[in-house]
Amino acid sequence: MTAPHLWVRAEQRDNETRVGITPKGVSTLMEQGFRVTVEASDTRVIATDGYKATGCAIAPQNSWPDAPADAIIFGLKELPENGTPLVHRHIMFGHAYKGQSAGRILLQRFKAGGGMLLDLEYLTDNSSRRVAAFGYWAGFAGAAVAVKCWAAQTRNKVVAAITPYPDADALTRDLAAQIDGLEVPDALVIGALGRVGSGATDLCARLGIKVTGWDVKETAHGGPFPEILQHVLFFNCILAGPQTPVFVPKSALDSSRALRVIGDIACDPDSDFNPVPIYDRATTWQEPALRVHNTPPLDVTAIDNLPSMLPLESSEDYAAQLLPTLSALADDDAPVWQRARAVFATHSAKL
């Protein structure tokens, strides 16, 4: 077969500086016969010069719509919502397969252009486990944002806008200073055995926050879950699906509770399967907390690109996990890509 042409696009979303492949990974693919083009970017956490040094082609920023038809466009987050037909194969997080309204529009754009979505969330191995995930750093950063929200709420202040940190140690030091002098809260983590839950638990451990860790065993009875309301912090760290129970129903708002901040790290507010249906929109870097009840206060934080708070660590970790799967693009029969194509076909057929 013809050597694959991987086109690494610049991210076009605000506050998104991550990348899914490092210069070392580009060199590896080129050694395997790949053609690689990397768009210039003035915001990417890894400078363009690092990619240029590999000898790959460098294209102008955001020029991917004009890429050759056989190029596979690789990015992480959303494309501009301009309604244009999509003619290429795209590797990205599409957020299109769980009933999201924006996802249906995206799939219609692929249908109109004849392109294909190869969704990073649905790249799985033979045991249905995702081959690569930002989960750990999403959990770590999501727990950090929730602690920030709790500290501000406790001091009767509005939580400050979120900004990136150079590394996890710098983030931990900043959080420790913010909670200094306050009674340390406790937390309940659902999905504690997974990547996301592990990250949230580790962040809490750094700050001396006691964690009650739940996973499938503790939620199998389907609810209700009054224990959640007995903790100051609650972190939802699971990938929801049709069988996922509701963890915090609307009735919880008026219930007696210690709960003050929910970190919905899974962040699927417009999904049919949202297990925290007391809010209906994601929060933002500028406004991390959404107040859903006043007396006593209850805030939700749900940011959908949390690992960008720690862009270098999360990019290097994710890129290392994903590289073997990118290498398999050279094999048309690679099961991981066959499964991704099948998922796209199934959901496209429903349009």
Annotated catalytic residue within 5, 88, 90, 95:
95
Nearest-angstrom CA–CA distance, 326 and 21: 9
Nearest-angstrom CA–CA distance, 174 and 313: 17
Q: Is 347 a catalytic residue?
A: no
Q: Is 60 exposed, middle or buried (0-12, 13-18, 19+ CB in 10 A)?
A: exposed
Helix (H, G, I), strand (E, B) or coil at 292: strand
Nearest-angstrom CA–CA distance, 72 and 67: 9
Task: Give the position of tokens 């949202």.
Answer: 274
Annotated catalytic residue within 77, 148, 231, 347:
77
Q: Is 231 a catalytic residue?
A: no
Task: Give the position of tokens 């859903």.
Answer: 292
178 and 270 in contact (C-beta within 8 Å)?
no
Element housing 339 (H / E): helix 335-348
Terminal C-alpha separation, the chain = 32
**Which positions are catalytic?**
77, 95
